[in-house]
């Protein structure tokens, strides 16, 4: 079985990953010291990836936060370290109001620029392989022929590219790729946006 279907992967890219920086910031402010935000995020993604269907998730952002939150609660119960802050302000996030809009599912200019810059920053051969794979759409085998190297070598370059991607756009990365303006917004910004909405 392929672990994750292409549809689910696309759903992650569009509906979930854009919210990761906000989720990470939110987690970092409330985590007990023995748990890392990335542990929680990975585990939350496992739950989302194992769901049979995500069609019933109307508000992916809210769902993501709720999932992470329930993991936190479980951890708090297990470790008996009481972290009040974890519990207090989930509601303040105003999750229900944040329904995905069409522009959130589009890669906009800034993100495409960021992607171009990210590729520009890759080391030589990795960059070459990555450009052939992503910009020109060649398969790993075709790239091996084109570059005159083994398929294993191409795979290593692609893996390296993915690693760089994770470090830049996931994990500690402050950037995000693949959608939503305001994906980098902190909670304060969310509140501000909610205010803007009520003004207009």
Partner 1 sequence: MPERETSQTVDDAAAEWAGRIDRGPLSIEDEAALETWLRDDVRRLGALARAQALFDSTDAARALGRDFEPAAFKPATPAKTSRRQLIRWGGGALAASVAAGAAGLTLSSYASRAYASQRGEIRLIPLDDGSAITLNTETRVRVRERRAQLLDGEALFEVAPGQRPFVVSVPSLSISTTTAAFVVRAIAGEPVSVLVREGAVSVDGRDGPVRVGPNQTFALASKRSAVQPVDPATLSRRLAWREGKIAFEGETMQAAAREFARYSDMRLIIDDPDLAREPISGLFAANDPVSFARSASRSFGARLTVEGRTVRLSRAMSPSQS
Compute the least distance from the CB of residue 72 to partner 1, in Å: 15
Tracing tokens 């479980």 back to the chain, one arrives at: 74
Compute the least distance from the CB of residue 27 to partner 1, in Å: 12
**Residues in 103-142 at the binding interface with partner 1, rule: CB under 8 A:** 103, 105-109, 111-113, 115-117, 119-122, 127, 130-131, 133-137, 139-141
Q: Residue 89: name the closest of 191, 198, 199 by CA.
A: 191
Residue 126: C-alpha distances to residues 57, 120, 144, 147, 176 (Å): 37, 11, 12, 11, 21
- Say how far apart CA 117 and CA 114 lie, in whole Å: 5
Please say which residue, 30 or 157, places its beta carbon nearer to partner 1.
Answer: 157
Compute the least distance from the CB of residue 140 to partner 1, in Å: 5
Using rule CB under 8 A, residue 150 touches partner 1: no
CA dihedral 72, 78, 79, 81 (to 10 degrees): 60
CB 76 within 8 A of CB 32: yes
Please say which residue, 116 or 192, places its beta carbon nearer to partner 1.
Answer: 116
**Residues in 12-51 at the binding interface with partner 1, rule: CB under 8 A:** 12-14, 16-17, 36, 38-39, 41-50
- Backbone dihedral region for residue 138 (phi beyond 0: left; psi -120 to 50: alpha; all else: beta): beta
**Residues in 50-69 at the binding interface with partner 1, rule: CB under 8 A:** 50
Using rule CB under 8 A, residue 199 touches partner 1: no
Number of residues that bind partner 1 (CB under 8 A): 72
């Amino acid at each position: 079985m392929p672990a994750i279907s292409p549809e689910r992967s696309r759903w992650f890219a569009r509906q979930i990953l854009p919210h990761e920086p906000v989720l990470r910031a939110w987690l970092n402010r409330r985590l007990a010291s023995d748990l890392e935000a990335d542990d929680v995020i990975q585990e939350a993604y496992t739950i989302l990836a194992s769901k049979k269907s995500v069609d019933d998730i109307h508000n992916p952002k809210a769902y993501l936060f709720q999932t992470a939150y329930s993991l936190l609660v479980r951890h708090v119960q297990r470790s008996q370290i009481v972290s009040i802050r974890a519990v207090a302000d989930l509601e303040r996030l105003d999750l229900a109001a944040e329904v995905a809009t069409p522009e959130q599912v589009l890669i906009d200019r800034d993100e495409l620029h960021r992607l171009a810059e990210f590729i520009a920053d890759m080391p030589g051969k990795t960059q070459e392989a990555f450009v052939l794979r992503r910009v020109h759409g060649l398969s790993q085998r075709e790239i091996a022929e084109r570059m005159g190297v083994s398929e294993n070598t191409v795979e290593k370059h692609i893996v390296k590219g993915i690693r760089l991607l994770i470090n830049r756009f996931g994990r500690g990365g402050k950037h995000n790729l693949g959608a939503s303006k305001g994906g980098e917004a902190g909670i304060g910004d969310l509140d501000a946006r909610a205010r803007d909405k009520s003004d207009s």
